Structure 1
Amino acid sequence: MSQIGKPPCEEGIVLEGATPAPCSIRLRRWTLVAAILGSSLAFIDGTVVNVALPSIQRDLNATTADAQWVMESYALFLAALLLVGGALGDRFGRKRVFLIGVALFTLASIGCSLSPAIEPLIVARAVQGVGAALLVPGSLALISATFPQAERGAAIGTWSAFSGITAAIGPVLGGFLVEHFSWKWAFLINAPMGTILFALCLAKVPESKGAMHGSGVDSAGAILVTVGLAGLVFAFIEAPARGWSALSVWGALLAGVVALLLFGVAEARVASPMLPLALFRERNFAGANALTLLLYAALGGSLFFLPLNLIQVQGYGATAAGAALLPFIAIMFLLSRWTGSLVDRFGAKLPLVCGPVIAAAGFAMFALPSLDGSYWTTFFPAICVLGLGMSVTVAPLTTTVMNSVAKDLAGTASGVNNAVSRAAALLAIAVFGLMLTLIFNARLHSELQPLHLPAKLAAAVLAQRQKLAGMVLPDGYPQATLAALRHAVKAAFVAGFRWVMLVSAALALLSAASAWIFIDGKARQKPRAEPLPS
């Protein structure tokens, strides 16, 4: 649930895609079906795994840091290689690269389901992320390469509708499979879908390529950004267990910072950069991406921990936890047409300031619930307010990005903004995990002091601190003692969760401030097509 539904600007990638290759109406329809199935694989995986994490943590005796790596190993390669995946499709064939992505994703999903321990699961998730980096942009590029400009609006409407359905059923289906069967089925469900998609694409989808000029693959940039993000993520996830003085932690942090600095230098010099820095000279584009970075860090980072709270602390079943965010998805789906017209009526600045402010109120409301309480009076109001805030923001954000650059660069700009949203969530999960762990440990220590636990029981609890609320309490002690201890662990987690949500609210307010400073008050026309400045 750290990435609910579609990230911003995916529609822009479709609408402003390549010149379509001639093909029959029948093949266009099959291509649309393949694109929907491809996107559905990624959408379902992005929401199903979150509700499976508590079960994975319990069955594989994993720490919370391990659970973070299950998400982060996937998100790392998806965020870092997303733009490269699109370039590979343009150069070597969109269908070919899409098929490779589907095959990798499907095989890695099977590998995830067969993992006997947390380490092979993390490795399989990383391979899954590589497959997704080829699959996600490929599914969108197939539409733009097959449908004429005049028909893309209808195609994207169909694609968006099915994506909304997928986003809604994904976490509920995942929760049902986890609760009634096993977390392994959260991954294994991808196998039949992936097999059908591979056969369909192989038989029915036409091949297409982009123009060869300027279509080089920025391999140096891909390596540097992957190393940079991996270094930062490793440092923040592993610091609570290893300590900041550990060579592996500060060494990874230093390597990550240096790699990202070198990435910026490389992108300014390479002929075909995956991240064209010249785009950021446009004020609206820079402001839209600053907003995306801050707001999607808040969204992705905070909602990673929501299923852990619902299942491990509040006592929800996996199915109920998966269904908890359905109001969020329903609000975004129902308001999509209305919010899409806000830029035309009011300009970009007003919705891009008001939307994040409303979202900030939603994040702050998540900090209110303690232990127990009805869903309808605790989490439901916060989810609805957050859904309203994101609904007001997403469509104007996409429009602003699309309108901020020349028409022939709109697809590139959309891809960059999409990648920024994923990288923001990737980094936020790591940073928020560090913050929650530090607060949890401090609060747990204060909660345990008045309990006067037997030394052996206290030692058993402290030895499992890295599991946070997922720790397993030993048997053989009075029920009253275990109940008090269980309450202390839950209270410690809630204390950390509250700070995560308050920081998320602050990030959302900062994103509103970035829109106020950078975004023009009036809707803008796209500038004439011009080459990127050198």
Structure 2
Amino acid sequence: MAVIILGLTLAVLDSSIVNLALPVIARDLQASSALTLWVVNAYQLAGLVLLLPLAALGERMGYRRVYLMGMVVFVIASVAATLANSLSTLIAARVFQGMGAAGVMSVNAALVRLTYPRAMLGRGMALNSLVVATSSMAGPVVAAAILSVASWPWLFAINVPLGLLTLWMGRKALPVNPPVSSKIESMALLDVLLNILMFSLLFLGAEQLGVGMGKEAAPGSSFMPSGWWLLGAGVAVGFVYLRRQRHQSAPLFPVDLLRIPVFRLSMCGSIAAFCAQMLAYLALPFLLLEARGLSPFEAGMLMTVWPIATMLTAPVAGRLIGKYPDGLLGGIGMAMFATGLWLLAAMPADVSIADMVWRMLLAGSGFALYQSPNNHTIVSSAPLSRSGAAGGMLSSARMTGQTLGAVVLATIFAISGGHGGNAEVLALAIAGGFAALAGVFSMMRVNKTPDQEVHKR
């Protein structure tokens, strides 16, 4: 588990650790702010399009091998990013970094399932959820600590020794897959290309909509198709792609798992929950800094309450898994999360720091109480031979939800004409709505258990 946790921390942390350094990178490499955003986008896109293909590869050649190969690519790409002297070189290195991170994240949940005894899997998934939640929110904090004593290339350089340590430990510790069934067909290159094209079009469409709704437009962006055209093309490619997947025994896009009701509901809930989290986490800095007049230090310290609440609640959630239905735990967690978000939206102008803190605690605790049982259901509702596909879908849901949250916030800012307080309040209220929707999906699973679904299949 030390190997799994360390690799997952590096992969998730690198999705947000660069955000704080983007202005410095743009100045040092003499690039526009819009183009510099692709230092982040390239990593996220490369990871998103390869999660499912690498998960399927893990089912066929071994999760351990895919994990270690991904970490090798991640370390080499981190060296390249450290040494990059132009924006194009840095973006290319970030693409390969994202590919390596996809190798780690795509098989992570499957390795946890192989590591823990069945009766303790809930605790393992809770620990996994804790690492994802805290790592995704810790990026700006870690970046601030590094940038206070070193230049931005060190944001990538720290990956090298930690990645090498993960490789050394992983060769000895990671479990080996059970034998692969001879009935599983090999991956078709066309399916892999369709998967990459579908997710790329959807991501680029969402990003283009965000650019068109108030961000600085990149040079040449006027020649790009509109976001809606890109999204439409992504849906069209997805229709063709999913039709090809329907009759395969182990499809690259796991439509077989989506036929399991409890799995399908858990995936929908996960996307909605991560959308709510990203909406809130992007809107809160604007609210605290600009509308409430807090200093950056005060806002940063206040926002650390959220991940602290998640860290404290996740182990408790892990111990509750198995004693109570996952759907019930998730429904209660999302009720707490939605309530915390709505209370943050309803804060009066003269609210005290203490009143902000307990609202943050409620939101962070509720998300942790939801995420661990929900991830446990996603992984355990799939047959053991399809653990890789379930884990790939788990990571895909997280990234899809986060992308959706960013697009929704860009839409809110564009409609409201800026971020002077009202837009942030609206964003938090809508985030609460997404959290409530995730709670509804969770409660719909109460009478359905993962074991029953696997038994039916």
One-letter amino acid of the counterpart of residue 39, structure 2: V
Deviation at 1:45, TM superposition (A): 2.0
One-letter amino acid of the counterpart of residue 264, structure 1: L
| C-alpha contact (below 8 Å) 1:228/1:259 kept by paired residues | yes
Residues 384-393 or 202-211, more deviating: 202-211
Deviation at 1:524, TM superposition (A): 6.3
| Partner residue in 2 for 1:79 | 48
1:382 and 1:54 map into 2 onto residues whose CA distance is 31
Q: 1:387 aligns with which of 350, 355, 364?
A: 364
Q: 2:374 aligns with which of 374, 383, 397?
A: 397
Q: Does 1:511 align with 2:443?
A: no
TM-score by length of 1: 0.69
Larger radius of gyration: 1
| Partner residue in 1 for 2:452 | 526
For residues 273 and 503 of structure 1, do their structure 2 counterparts lie closer, same or farther at Cα, with a shift above 3 Å needed?
same
| C-alpha contact (below 8 Å) 1:102/1:135 kept by paired residues | yes
Instruction: Show CA shifts across 1:225-282 (max 9, x none).
Output: 3322322332333341389986522543332222222222222144431222132233
One-letter amino acid of the counterpart of residue 285, structure 1: F
- Number of aligned residue pairs: give it: 446
Q: Does 1:413 align with 2:340?
A: no
| Partner residue in 2 for 1:274 | 252
One-letter amino acid of the counterpart of residue 122, structure 1: I
1:181 and 1:211 map into 2 onto residues whose CA distance is 47
| Partner residue in 2 for 1:364 | 342
1:306 and 1:56 map into 2 onto residues whose CA distance is 24
| Partner residue in 1 for 2:57 | 88
Q: Does 1:196 align with 2:165?
A: yes
| Partner residue in 1 for 2:93 | 124
| Partner residue in 2 for 1:101 | 70
2:412 and 2:376 map into 1 onto residues whose CA distance is 34
For residues 103 and 301 of structure 1, do their structure 2 counterparts lie closer, same or farther at Cα, with a shift above 3 Å needed?
farther
Q: 1:113 aligns with which of 70, 82, 85?
A: 82
**Helix, strand or coil: the match of 2:98?**
helix
| Partner residue in 2 for 1:175 | 144
| Partner residue in 1 for 2:206 | 236
One-letter amino acid of the counterpart of residue 232, structure 2: L
One-letter amino acid of the counterpart of residue 188, structure 1: A
Instruction: Show CA shifts across 1:413-466 (max 9, x none).
Output: 344233222222133324433443x146x34xxxxxxxxxxxxxxxxxxxxxxx
Q: 1:432 aligns with which of 409, 412, 421?
A: 409
Deviation at 1:157, TM superposition (A): 8.4
1:407 and 1:212 map into 2 onto residues whose CA distance is 11
Deviation at 1:41, TM superposition (A): 1.6
Residues 90-99 or 181-190, more deviating: 90-99
The sequence identity of aligned pairs, in percent, is 24
| Partner residue in 2 for 1:473 | none
| C-alpha contact (below 8 Å) 1:285/1:401 kept by paired residues | yes
Deviation at 1:58, TM superposition (A): 6.2
| Partner residue in 1 for 2:310 | 332
2:63 and 2:89 map into 1 onto residues whose CA distance is 30
| C-alpha contact (below 8 Å) 1:218/1:273 kept by paired residues | no
One-letter amino acid of the counterpart of residue 273, structure 2: L
**Helix, strand or coil: the match of 1:526?**
helix
One-letter amino acid of the counterpart of residue 207, structure 2: I
Deviation at 1:523, TM superposition (A): 5.2
Deviation at 1:82, TM superposition (A): 1.7
| Partner residue in 2 for 1:283 | 261
TM-score by length of 2: 0.79
Residues 246-255 or 37-46, more deviating: 246-255
2:129 and 2:397 map into 1 onto residues whose CA distance is 24
For residues 156 and 183 of structure 1, do their structure 2 counterparts lie closer, same or farther at Cα, with a shift above 3 Å needed?
same
Deviation at 1:141, TM superposition (A): 5.0
| C-alpha contact (below 8 Å) 1:406/1:526 kept by paired residues | no
Q: Does 1:186 align with 2:155?
A: yes
| C-alpha contact (below 8 Å) 2:317/2:368 kept by paired residues | yes
For residues 527 and 269 of structure 1, do their structure 2 counterparts lie closer, same or farther at Cα, with a shift above 3 Å needed?
closer
Q: 1:354 aligns with which of 326, 332, 349?
A: 332
| Partner residue in 2 for 1:26 | none
| Partner residue in 2 for 1:222 | 192
1:53 and 1:373 map into 2 onto residues whose CA distance is 32
For residues 222 and 505 of structure 1, do their structure 2 counterparts lie closer, same or farther at Cα, with a shift above 3 Å needed?
farther
Which runs of 5 or more structure 2 residues have no equivalent in the other structure?
none
Deviation at 1:320, TM superposition (A): 6.8
Instruction: Show CA shifts across 1:6-32 (max 9, x none).
Output: xxxxxxxxxxxxxxxxxxxxxxxxxx4
Q: Does 1:38 align with 2:15?
A: no
One-letter amino acid of the counterpart of residue 236, structure 1: A
Deviation at 1:134, TM superposition (A): 1.0
| Partner residue in 2 for 1:467 | none
Deviation at 1:390, TM superposition (A): 0.5
Which runs of 5 or more structure 1 residues have no equivalent in the other structure?
1-31, 444-491
For residues 431 and 218 of structure 1, do their structure 2 counterparts lie closer, same or farther at Cα, with a shift above 3 Å needed?
farther
Deviation at 1:57, TM superposition (A): 5.7
2:440 and 2:129 map into 1 onto residues whose CA distance is 32
Q: How is 1:448-487 mapped onto 2 (pairs within 5 angstroms)?
A: none
| C-alpha contact (below 8 Å) 1:76/1:426 kept by paired residues | no
1:326 and 1:333 map into 2 onto residues whose CA distance is 11
1:183 and 1:375 map into 2 onto residues whose CA distance is 32
1:110 and 1:60 map into 2 onto residues whose CA distance is 17
